[in-house]
Structure 1
């Protein structure tokens, strides 16, 4: 990256809202630093959310330009201020490789919390380190998740293409809710489907029986965003 381009990014980083001020809304599509940025050029900022080490050596993390050179805890704190009130849950009985990708999408759409149901260990490769910025909780079984949702007043919206489901294009998502996803192949367990307040399916028009679990999760999260995020 040239010095001029690095200076352009430095100005963009310096001009972003101070933590606690209104955020910029969706991240712009014209990100300057898809491959990361080098050391800060010019006089270095002293604001407390900046990481002196990143200012010194550069920032190659998977974050939007708004958060370049920020400390990880400062990023989490700022995200906590503006997270959306929907939660995401994934069943994890067979160490599903899709979980990491679902966590990444949950971070992209600023979900409140991701809940892993079943095995505590999950494949983080697809998360691309976004789990560091995303609240993740574990529940040993569906009953524990249901208990949590009851205590928090979260209706459970299961996403699966099963008989009796409602198509997502006509479904009104509650502002506060938990989107529940199953594993690749078997889908949601009978216990999860029985616990759901509603079951929603994504309309399909080709020959395949279902789409990838992580793709379905991204579609469902974005459907919530379209209905509830002010644009």
Structure 2
């Protein structure tokens, strides 16, 4: 079993990653702003406060762990700009201070995924500026990670739509292409996204690269 720390552990995606990891018997430290959204009775769950933009706090949270997951989000587009790519840089810097850094898995975004050759999701006409800002924040974080060669990292992009729903345990994967059905629908439940992420923790297939999932 793995010892996993999850930044953003009380969020829509992060809380489901915490639940899925606990369900499979892993030990989890949830670093969360809202503790009321976390399970209250599980002997394998620890809850802590830590600023993901504080290198020393991240180093302390990561020390001795097998995996560090970042599922942080900044609310609106400007919030993502201030948090997502800067947090990736902070986490990488913090992990480099550890003699045995954990594997780093980052919840990514769908904007940089390819829809057709030469076109990405963020090229779709009519997207609101706030949505584009969020997409490019995640894209900047991915671009930064792709230049990191001295750590073990993975970026997991969701499909176009991710929302609370049913845990089916099923999903399809790709690397840089948006996963969609025959009618162009691209979606997954947050529960099945968490299944895919914990599967990657247990059976690594995408070291030092981005992959994506969808129903």
Tell which structure's C-alpha radius of gyration is larger.
1
TM range (shorter): 0.3 to 0.5
The structure with the greater share of residues assigned to strand is 2
TM-score by length of 2: 0.39
TM-score, scaled to structure 1: 0.37
- Which structure would you say has the larger RCO, counting Cα contacts within 8 Å and 6 or more residues apart? 2
